[in-house]
């Protein structure tokens, strides 16, 4: 897991899908190593569709953020995860954010900063969230607690588009083209081992001052 964190620090995008307990170990280990301050837990049955929220407030269950936010890298405008999305199948046996033993809907959007919440499942849990790459050189992070949507439910409304959007989003073509790099030619810096102290300091710099 340390190597995956270093890969992220060096510019690689990391996308982690989790499932219900206990299939959240890798996600929670990564979140712990970057001092996120919360975990993913639970096993909500789901099996419903969630719908776009143009306000971005996610103030009730079953919504994902369709607000036309302008995400920027330096002066480059980036696309959103909700491009051409109107509904998404949430999956089955879903995990969601847990913090300070709060009930699902009591976990506020700003409770998980610097992450940006993307979706609440149909029971109200924050089940999808992301962190944008910054000028410090790290890659994007995307987490989703509905791992099961990647199997036979890939055909459900919105799911395949959602996966396409994740691929396009983490590829950051607009950012690489602005640096005269063809997106398909971009590679993160090579992964080399570092001391735990150096790793923790790099993570702290990224997470505290993004």
Q: What percent of the chain has pLDDT over 90?
A: 82
Q: What is the pLDDT, as a whole number, of residue 2?
A: 95
Q: Which strand (E) or helix (H) includes residue 202? A: helix 196-208
CA–CA gap between residue 183 and residue 119 (Å, rounded): 28
The pLDDT assigned to 70 comes to 75
- Alpha-carbon Rg of the chain, whole angstroms? 17
pLDDT at residue 77, as a whole number = 86
CA atoms of 164 and 175, how far apart (whole Å): 18
Q: What is the pLDDT of residue 151?
A: 83
Q: How many CB atoms lie within 10 A of CB 196?
A: 9
Res 142: pLDDT: 98
Whole-angstrom distance, CA of residue 93 vs CA of residue 72: 34
Phi-psi region of 157 (alpha: psi -120 to 50; beta: other; left: phi over 0): beta
210 residues of the chain, pLDDT tens digit each: 999 999 999 999 999 999 998 999 999 999 999 999 999 999 999 999 999 999 999 999 999 999 988 788 888 888 889 999 999 999 999 999 999 989 889 999 999 999 999 999 999 999 999 999 999 999 999 999 999 998 877 777 889 999 999 999 999 999 999 889 999 999 999 999 999 999 999 999 999 854
């Amino acid at each position: 897991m340390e190597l995956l964190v270093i890969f992220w620090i060096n510019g690689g995008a990391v996308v982690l899908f989790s499932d219900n307990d206990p299939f959240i170990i890798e996600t929670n280990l990564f979140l712990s190593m970057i001092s996120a301050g919360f975990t993913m837990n639970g096993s909500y049955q789901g099996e419903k569709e969630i719908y776009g929220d143009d306000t971005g407030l996610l103030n009730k269950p079953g919504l994902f953020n369709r607000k036309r936010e302008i995400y920027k890298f330096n002066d480059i405008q980036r696309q959103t995860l909700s491009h051409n999305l109107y509904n998404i199948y949430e999956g089955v046996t879903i995990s969601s954010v847990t913090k300070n033993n709060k009930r699902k809907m009591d976990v506020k959007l700003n409770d998980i900063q610097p992450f940006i919440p993307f979706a609440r499942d149909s029971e109200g849990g924050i089940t999808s969230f992301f962190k944008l790459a910054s000028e410090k050189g790290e890659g994007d992070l995307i987490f989703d607690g509905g791992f099961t949507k990647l199997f036979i439910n890939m055909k459900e409304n919105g799911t395949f588009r959602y996966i396409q959007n994740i691929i396009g989003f983490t590829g950051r073509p607009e950012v690489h083209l602005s640096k005269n790099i063809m997106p398909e030619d971009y590679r993160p810096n090579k992964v080399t081992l570092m001391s735990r102290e150096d790793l923790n300091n790099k993570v702290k710099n990224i997470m505290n001052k993004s």
